[in-house]
Amino acid sequence: MELKSSIVVLLPYLPIALVLYLTYSYTKTWYRLRKFPGPWLGKFSYAYMANAVWHGKMNLVYADVSKKYGPLARIGPNDLLTSSPAIIRHMSSARSPYTRGSWYEAMRMDPYVDSVFSEMDVHVHDKRRAKMASAYSGKENPNLEGDIDDQVSALLGLIRRKYLSSGEKTRPMDFGRKAQFFTLDVITKVSYGKEFGYLDQDTDVHDYVKTTEDLVPWLTVCAVVPFMNAFMNRSWVKGKFGPGPEDKSGMGKLMGVARAVVQERFGEKKVEKRDMLGAFVKNGIEQRQMEAEVHFQIIAGSDTTATAVRATFLRLLTSPRVLAKLQKELDYAGRNGRLSSPITNAEAKALPYLQAVIKEGLRVHPPFTGLLMKKVPPGGDTIDGQYIPEGTRIGHNTWAVQRDPIYGEDVEVFRPERWIEANGEKVLRMEQNLDLVFGYGRWGCLGKTVAYIELNKIFVELLTNFEFELLDSDKPWRSVNFNLFMQDHMWLRVTERKEQNK
């Protein structure tokens, strides 16, 4: 009776207690990073970052944040966002005491084993990265460029087989999807010695694209909301609800594909090839670890490069002056015997306007916009006179970095000439900024070499063989952003390029 009476007496005070607790909690949250400007909601709640992700426009939302609040802005209770190239280099240099934040933990493609991208332990990461570097550089694959040439030819063959238009007959091609099929076949060919056949079958083999588009938005939300990530990574949650390699669909199905690919390299009847997997085996990467790396490779090695191809090509098709100038350079090189079929990587590097177009495409539309959050080391850090407490997560704003004033006043304009006009110290700084598209230092992208070879070849081969028109200039594509870009409905009309136009 006495307990019941006490509860009745206290009941009217519960709302007051709740208000006091919430006031204390939110004040404590706000106070820690109170000196940093940013959106009001982001100072108290992870709802701001979750909302930016969920609407598929996080690149534009965060670009506006940096523009309004400066190079170090607050976007979450324990989260800052930087658009400063200097700060990004400071956090990611080889000797930096910064570590990866919990953002990376949510980026496990295989929820049970970390890839080199999601590994949080710096020493484990560095050791594994050193073992993998030669595989990605192409040193272990003497036919790297030839393997990419094969997939370029397969794309041209697919266009001629199914999507050539003539006269009144139009056969629409979704270039958004075909670009991704191309990069998927490239990464599977150079990594595993056999392409999965996206271009040959002209379909989403293993439902890879569908699975990625279904899963990545959720992973991206978990990456910015720590308590969601912590819940999803509990062992009992993964044990009860996690995917498995025997699944017939979703992430589990892709895990099964990765297992099958890796299993061929082990056992009595193991396959030995000079490709990425062969290099992994040679350098001592364990079988289960290789499965996680394969899973990540397919995403990292295809989606980002596909975006670079799609975005740059769309800029070309909507910039007649630039397209005509590039076409003129290619035609001149062809007439003077400086274009092989397909073009070699060395020949492409010798074409200045082509290189300017590739750089400008990556600058205007960086293919990966993930926050890549680093954690401030013990004892905190002082940047530009501002103290940042230890444990704070600081994210990269890659979109804003590529709009740095170093590029000039017209940063929103697709103008390749800026790379030719600049010289000396300025062009060096521009190129250093552009390299941040691929990360920096110990966290830099291992697949950069392969990506550049693909970009050096694909535009040349498309433009010397075909002519392209957008079918709907008002809606040239469907594009949403969840760390990665998901882009399709890029409908083109393709015709064979006439000999007299070459």
Q: What are the binding residues?
A: 445
**What are the two backbone dihedrals, phi and then psi, of residue 429, each rounded to the nearest 5 degrees?**
-65, -40
**Which residue reads 């701001």 in tokens?**
48
Q: Are the CB atoms for 411 and 66 separated by under 8 Å?
A: no
Give the Cα separation of 78 and 62 in Å (integer).
16
Q: In the chain, how many H helices and how many E strands?
A: 23, 12
| Cα–Cα distance, 110 to 112 (Å, whole number) | 6
Rounded to the nearest 10°, the torsion over CA 45, 46, 47, 49 is: 130
Which tokens sit at 175? 């270039």
Contact 464, 356 (CB under 8 A): no
Helix (H) or strand (E) holding 478: strand 478-482
Find all residues with CB under 8 Å of 163, minimum gap 6, and list them: 171, 172, 173, 494
Angle at 372 between CA 133 and CA 295, to 5 degrees: 50
**Structure-token match 């306007």, residue found:** 353
478 within 8 A of 165, measured Cβ to Cβ: no
Maximum CA extent, the chain:
101
Report the alpha-carbon distance of residue 37 to residue 256 in Å, rounded.
46
d(CA 86, CA 121): 24
Closest residue by Cα to residue 39 from 30, 50, 48: 48
Sequence-distant (≥ 6) Cβ neighbours of residue 25 within 8 angstroms: none
Within 8 A by CB and 6+ apart from 12, the residues are: none
Binding-site annotation, residues for heme: 445
Q: Could you tell me which residues are beta bridge partners of residue 107?
A: none
**In this structure, are residues 436 and 401 in contact, taking their beta carbons and an 8 Å threshold?**
yes
Bridge-based pairing of strands 79-82 and 72-76 is antiparallel
Contact status, residue 494 vs residue 165, Cβ threshold 8 Å? yes
What's the first-to-final CA gap in the chain, in angstroms? Answer: 96
By C-alpha distance, which of 79, 96, 78 is closest to 87?
A: 96
Answer whether 32's CB lies under 8 Å from 78's CB.
yes
